[in-house]
Amino acid sequence: MNDVWQKMKEVLVDNLFEIGDLLITRDTRLGEIPDWDSMAAVNLQILLHDTFHVDLPLDLLQEETTFSELITLMEHPEKLSEVVRKFRESN
């Protein structure tokens, strides 16, 4: 988890335009990012794809989603379709 988190954090701080000076932790919710909106979600989607080669659907990148949840998906991409299915059922 540490490796994925370190890599994710590094990539986001360097490249996610909306993040500003926010100090992110695993528990940070995406909605806490200062300029978080649907456009920022696309930017995050692109960064995660370019870094971890995982295609997250946009509707998973919600304000309530935490980085911890994203780390789990990056570590276990085989669980992605199951998570997406559950997420969509519950929304």
Partner 1 sequence: MRSAVIASTGSYLPETVVSNEDLIQFPRAAIQMIGEKTGVFYRRVASDKECTSDLAAHAALKCLEKGGYMAAQVEGILLATSSPDRMQPATATRVQHIIGAKKAFAFDINSVCSGSTFGIAMADALIKSGYCENVLLIAAEVYSRIMNQKDFASYPFFGDGSGAVFFHAGNTSHEGVLHSCLRTDGSGSDTISVPAGGTMMPFAKMTNARFAFFKMKGIDVFNFAVDKGYEIVLQLLKEAETSISNIKCFICHQANVNIIQKIAHKLNVSVDRFFMNLSSYGNTAGASVLIALDEAISAGVVQKGDLIITVAFGGGLSWGANLIRI
- The Cα–Cα gap between 62 and 65 comes to 5
Rounded to a whole number of angstroms, the minimum distance from the CB of residue 52 to partner 1 is: 15
State the Cα–Cα distance between residues 75 and 39, nearest whole angstrom: 25
Rule CB under 8 A: choose which of 42, 76, 77, 79 binds partner 1. Answer: 42
Q: How far apart are CB 9 and partner 1 at their closest, in Å?
A: 13
CB of 56 vs partner 1, minimal distance in Å: 10
Among 13, 31, 77, 79, binds partner 1 (CB under 8 A): 13
- The whole-angstrom separation of Cα 3 and Cα 11 is 12
